[in-house]
Amino acid sequence: MAKASKKQALGRGLSALLNNPNSDITSVKDENADKIVGSIVEIELDLIEVNPYQPRSYFNEETLRELASSIKELGVIQPITVRKLEGNKFQLVSGERRLRASKLIGNNTIPTYIRIAKDQEMLEMALVENIQRKDLDPIEVALSYQRLIDEIDLTQEEMSQRVGKKRSTISNYLRLLKLDPIIQTGMRDGFLSMGHGRALINIENTEVQLNIYEKIIQQKLSVRQTEQLVKNLKEGNSIAPIKSVKTIDTPKFISKGLKTISEYFGHKIVIKLAGKNKGKILIPFHSEEDFNRIKKLLE
């Protein structure tokens, strides 16, 4: 019983500090900052504004509802993280899905881990968290690393320490940004892997890069086959011309309908023709959430 009452008293003390206009805490040097920073308290949802630096812009409604159901049953297991603003206001650092799901079930408060951070630190935290996600394509990761270099002025060594990745790994991602934009788009759409991209980086001539890219797509070359192709070229052997494929004129009904289908699914849809008025519709997806979103559209 004594333990429970001590916990409640601590909560009231933190609440008083946060709501006291005469002792506003906006810096780690402010009085009582040590009592606020690192503490976990229940904060009203209305006092928390979203993170303007959040790299993620799409949130799947179905998975949000599933999370909301879990929160309703078990509560918020992992507190969200916010930074303290002036007055009794806070800005989200991480945990936007938990915040949105809590609002869906009508919760008024949410357990929150409090930090004090400047705008630059907020951007850095958002980018670092973004890199740690598992559903990013290689180009998205590379772009996040590049933003840390350009906007936060971090070296590759400093990034290595921040994100817990080897410097060589970071360097390999950054090198992908030297690829032709068409090839980068192919990687984002899942037509070739990071391994393919790393092999193509060794070719400086853009025309030759694109030539090999076309061979990868048309002949479904593996990473090893691509590496061998590049090795042969570097050793002075010319690339064998791409075998001509009998082209099939795209029927007008496909040309007219392709844009509508692409807009519906939110992706560029690929059509593979197999004969007159026959073929396949390929729908790319970029994450588990994206897959579930497409699945819902097909239900």
Q: Which of 42, 96, 158, 227 is catalytic?
A: 96
Among the listed residues 129, 127, 171, 133, the one whose alpha carbon sits nearest the alpha carbon of residue 148: 127
Q: How far, in whole angstroms, is CA 190 from its chain's centroid?
A: 15
Phi, psi (5° rounding) for residue 114?
-100, 135
Distance CA(143)–CA(263), nearest Å, equals 25
Q: Are 139 and 187 in contact (CB under 8 A)?
A: yes
Residue 62 appears among annotated catalytic residues: no
Q: Which residue has the tokens 């007159």?
A: 276
Distance CA(272)–CA(250), nearest Å, equals 10
- The amino acid occupying position 123 is L
Beta-carbon contacts of 65 under 8 Å, excluding residues fewer than 6 positions away, are 101, 104
Helices 138-151 and 119-132 pack at an angle, to 10 degrees, of: 160
Among the listed residues 106, 97, 188, the one whose alpha carbon sits nearest the alpha carbon of residue 142: 188
165: helix, strand or coil: coil
Residues tagged active-site: 96
